[in-house]
Amino acid sequence: MSRLSIHLARAAASSRRSSWKPASREEVLARLLVKRAEAKQAGLFGLEESLREQITWSLPMRAAGNDAIAASHDDLVHDRL
- 3-class secondary structure per residue, the chain: CCHHHHHHHHHHHHHHCCCCCCCCHHHHHHHHHHHHHHHHHCCCHHHHHHHHHHHHHHCCCCCCCCHHHHHHHHHHHHHHC
pLDDT digits (tens, 9 = 90+) for 8-27: 777 767 656 666 777 888 88
- Sorting pLDDT into bands at 50, 70 and 90, what band is 1? low
Domain assignment present for residue 12? The answer is no
pLDDT digits (tens, 9 = 90+) for 53-68: 999 888 877 666 666 5
Domain assignment present for residue 8? The answer is no
Domain assignment present for residue 11? The answer is no
**How many domains does the chain fold into?**
1
pLDDT for 33 equals 92
CA distances from 2 to 9, 10, 32, 55, 75 (A): 11, 12, 37, 41, 55
Domain assignment present for residue 39? The answer is yes
Domain assignment present for residue 68? The answer is yes
pLDDT digits (tens, 9 = 90+) for 44-53: 999 999 999 9
Tell me if 23 sits within 8 A of 58, measured CB to CB: no
Which residues form the domain of 49? 24-75
